[in-house]
Every structure is written in C-alpha cells, then in structure tokens.
Structure 1
C-alpha cells in the first residue's frame, strides 16, 4: 500500500488513513453502543486497538492509532480473517450487528500466524486456499465489505472476500484462474459478493460510508412543518449544503465543496462546529441565523421529494416545498412561496394566496418571462410550466393559487404576482 499511488501522486496508505479518520469520527457520532477494533496486516496481523462503546470522549485514542499506521510486508488474508472472527465471537451479543471493513491493496501472498512464505512472496494456491478457509469463518459472524485499491487488485478476485450484495443474495462464481504477479495460475471458487475497487479518495470515502462507490441520497418523506409566530423560513425535504467547506479539527480531514454531497443539515452543523465554534456543537440559534442569512444558497434542486405540508402562521414567512406535490399555507403576513423553475417541483397548492401581499418567487430565474411553456388556467387558478431538472429530464409542474380572484391572465400573473431572484 505504501508503493501504490493515485493518479494525483498520493500514496494509497495516505488516502486510506484519511478515510479511516473520517469513518472513525462518523462512528463516534453514532447514537448506539459501538464496539470497534482495528487490525493492521502485512506479513502477519496485529490488533492495534479495541474500544468498547466508541464515543466523542474516546475517539482520539482510535484517531492516534490510525495516524500511526504504516504499510509494508507481504499480504496475509488468512491471519487477519481468523483474528477478526475470534474477536467477533468474543464480543458479540444479542442485538449487535457485526460489520467488517476489509481494505487491501494486494492479493494474499502468505498465510499462518508467522507469515508462511511458500513462493518468495508470490501468490500461490495455498495462500488463496488458506485465505478462503479463514474468510468463511469471518463471513459466518459478520458482514464483510471488501474494498481494494485499483493498481494492486482485481475486483473479480476480491469479490470472494466480500459477502454483501446489492440485492441481498449470495453470488456463485465458477472457479477461474488469472495470471498476474505470480508464477503459476491460481484458482478461486466459492460464493462471492460485491467488493468495491477504488482509485480516488472520494470513491474510498463513499465505499466506507455506504458499501458502494456511488453516493446515493437517502429518500425523503412528506413533512408537516408549522412556523407559528414570527418570520419563519420553512424548507421541506432537505437542504443543499454541498457547497460548504470545513476541516475537522480532530481528524484533520478536509471536507471541501463537492466531497460530501447529500449530507444536508448534518453538513451545516459540522460547518458551524468547525468554522465558527472551534469544535463545539452548533446551537439551534446559530443554525437558524445561518439559514435566515443564506436560505437561497440552501435550496435543494434534487428531483425526488415528499409531499410536504408547510404552514407559515403569522409573520412574513418564506416557504419552499421542493420536489413533490406540496401544500403551502402562508397564514397572516406578506409571505413568499419559493420555487425552482428548472426542477421537478411537482404540482403544488398555495391555499391562501393574497394578491398584492404574497408573492411566488422563482429563485433560479432572472425574469418571470423565462418561465418555460407557461400556461394560466383562470378557471382553476393554476399556473402550469415545464422545467428541465439537473438529470436532463423535462418535468410538468404547476402551482395552484387558491384565494386569487378570477379575471387574471398569464401576463397579469407574471407581472403582478411573481418575482425572481436569479
């Protein structure tokens, strides 16, 4: 792992260290009881640290051990699999879910407690057989997510050391041989999962976080939000914080814009924690102040969303339902009903639009005349339009203005009731 490097020149051991530091902090923020152990393996395996109930108060111990990791020696799958299986059998109890993250930059080239070398460090059938035998023991007690680095390993081989698959079913591969880095063909056979082979720091982060190199946004559900008194900002579904950047003061990990896409509100709390609070948790007041000052930047243009109900109450409120078929009630005061024209905003209903007081605001348009294929149905007070979202698809959207008097035209609606921010 020390010799292999990414296309940017960074050693695999360094990106592994950074991703593990990030994962350790994520684990420490976990609400449940989390027992963690770390094994380093080369010619043999070594248990570096074990922590029962990992929390913010003791994560620094794990961080120190990760920072001290070094690469070298042969690659002993057999020993580390047996050691991990033994540890799980010792600590597992009712209600625990056992998960193993197996990171490697090479194929098994030795085996045993002392690192048996049968072919001067080249891959042999014995190395593979011993590794598969020990993996079976670990696989019986734990989910195993295998992650390899692209220059040192082939995904098809690594699949035999992973027992997780997207559809939840085991995969059976036929025995096969392939020729790299050894003196005679070697065969692998047995059940195989879906390992991940990565080549960039971002892919490694994603693989450790979710078991896949593709970042997948969590689905959003329908929310019901009540603002009450005061000038409120209500945002349904999620907020977009992909543009924020901060550095974790404990791990040293830099979270630059675009590397944490989809974190939403959690990214905002981390941003405030490390850019304003020197490691102290963000307060609700700080979060509220940030949203009030930057709400336009936080609007999320994701194409999926729940069917939200937003009620502003008294005061001059800002309501953004996002994707989905939302019901928006401003209540008393001069309210802004905010939309993104170029999105899948859905078929939304404003229940109490007051002409001359309330406004519909398109945050991504410079002028109301930019609204594509706009049609006004005066009988039902419905403004229909199309929007091309970030997935390239064209969506049919509409806004119903309940409370608006009859006799409006498309021109009068665009001129008198709609504003833009772009």
Structure 2
C-alpha cells in the first residue's frame, strides 16, 4: 500500500503560499468616473488592490456628471441677462459648473429683452413721423429693432409728429367750409375732427368768400383776404364844379389844368384828346408830345418808352346808367358803369367809341381790349368822336387813388371848321363831400 502523506503535505504547502501572497498586496485609492472622461470624482472613492470597474486613479473631475468638465477642459457658459434660457454669445465664461445667470446656449439675439430669442421675435411698429410712437397697423417681427420702427404701438396718427399719446394737435372750427379755421374756436384731437382744420387764419368764419386765400376787391370796403386792411372806396358826390380851358391856352399853366389829386391833373393840348398831365410828369419828368398823346389813345408807336392804354393814364371811364334819356341808343345796351364798382370802367378810347356808336344806332355788346369794342351783328364801327361825349354823364375812376368822380362834358372845341377853337373844352365834375 502506497503512502498518501507526501501528497497531503504538498497541498497544504500550496495553500499557505497563496494565502501569504494576498496579505502582501498594496491597496490603491480609486475615484468614481461616472461620466467616463478619465477623471474621477474626488468625493466618491474606493480602496482596492485592483482597479474597480467605473473607477480611475485620477481625482481631477470637477463635475462627474459632465464628460466635458474636468481638469483638461472647462465648459463655456453664456450670460443670460434676460433669463429667457438663451445666452449672449458675446458674454462667455469658462467654469466647471454652471455659474448663476449663465446658460450653455449662446443663441440669444438680444439679451436685454426676454421676448427676443430664437423661439420668439418681438413685434416692432413703424414710426413714420419719428415721434417715438408706432403705428399699430404697420408691423414687422425682428430680433433687434429695425430702422424706422419702435416697440410702441400707440400712435394715433403716424403721419403727424405732433399727434401721439403725449401730444394732441389743435384743430380749428371751419364753419363756412373754406378750409380756413377760426382761431377762437378750437379743440385738441389726435385725428382731424369733422368740420375742423389745422389752419387758424380765417378772419370771418361765417363767410366762405372771406379768408387769406380770397382775392381782394379794392373797392368793396371789405377785408376779403384777412390782411387787416379794409380798402375804402371814395366816391365824390359833392357839388359839381365847372372846369374849362380856352382855345390855344397854355396847357402847362396850372390855371388851365384841373388838379383833382396829386396823381391826377387833367388838361388838353391843341387838337388832341385830354390827358393826365401829372402821370407824364411822374414817369418822365416832362410833358408828352402831341403825337405820344395820340399814340396812347389810338395804340400807335410812341416816342417815349411807355405802353399805350387808350388814353388818360391812371383813369378809367364808364357811361353811368343815369346818363340821361337817349332814345337813339339801343335799349339792350348793358355796359353801364356804377360808381364804386370797377366793372364796366374802361379806357377813354373804349368809352368815346361806345358813345359814338350808340349815337349812330349800334348796339355795343362787348369790350375786347383798350382799343376794341364789338357791336351786334358784326356791324361796322364808327370812329370815336369826342364831340359825342358832350352831355353824357360819365364816371371816372382814379385808379391809384381809388376815387370815383362824376364828369359831364359841356363843350368840346376842334381846330377845324368855320369857328376853330383848338384845345378848348369844358366840363363839370363832382367834388369831395
């Protein structure tokens, strides 16, 4: 029988040797690496001779829940000033853990406005008048404020910088509908109220014909254009005074002149129409030649530099509607004048020509210009004859003075015939009351 003792000894010796080897191992500290970045959490340790799974020898992880946060690399955070969850790409900060007021997102387009971010663009309102208040009807969406737009939407009239919630324009009552308002009747409103205008210069809001844009009538005694000046029509209805100039008398002698005003002095050269002596003195400092008097009356070519206007510069003439009974005149004649009303006051040429043709049975229908009239049925016109004005009641309008005077010629001398008396004439005229 074989002995088993050696075999048993060897087995016991092997167990002893193995047991002694485990007692001699050196334990190592291991750090948990949850995020698998090779850096361990210094707060989560284990000691072991062998490396446990999920543990590393490095303890440099500052955030073991983020593989991008460790000793070799720190994450970038972005300022989120408006707390909308979107960070400002221009305000970064590197830190292991998230700083207060910072986020990982860097896509905020306006970090001062929580409503401006990739998930939400604010609405902007057009500010066409530049008053800081926007038009609620004209909008656009954009992250940042577009040029010409504002965040406010309370402008009541975006075409008027003076019309907004901070300031209402003043409107003026336009009762007569002439687009000019009454400065004493006004209201404030954002938009124009019916019956009101922005203008406040009407001086009579009860009359649409009176406003700063109206044409002024210098002879109606009304301030039609609101310039503060009331034109006064001066009609002389005082006693009639006789005026006469003998034949061949010196017309430059004041004795043979009729000085009505400082601007109107009537006289007559030999064999010529009567004229306003003073106008020639004021314009040229001299008396006109007899030819220039003719040229002015008949539209000839003058010697002095002036434009012919049909005679008696500065004076217009009319046949007054109380000229007397003239049965030979056509009853349809309507071109009578009225003192104080410029209508139907014409050139001396017109009036003398009208009287001559009325005396000849023509119906004068129209005055074309200072030298032309028309008669009915295109009849032939007669040449003006100054003798025809004798006995006719005429009105004279001294235009620059705005004075109306009544004239009745009592004689007219001619340089031809059996009893020549060149330059002679006489008349009666009204005086100032």
Same-fold status (TM-score > 0.5): no
TM-score normalised per structure 2:
0.21
Question: Larger C-alpha radius of gyration, 1 or 2?
Answer: 2
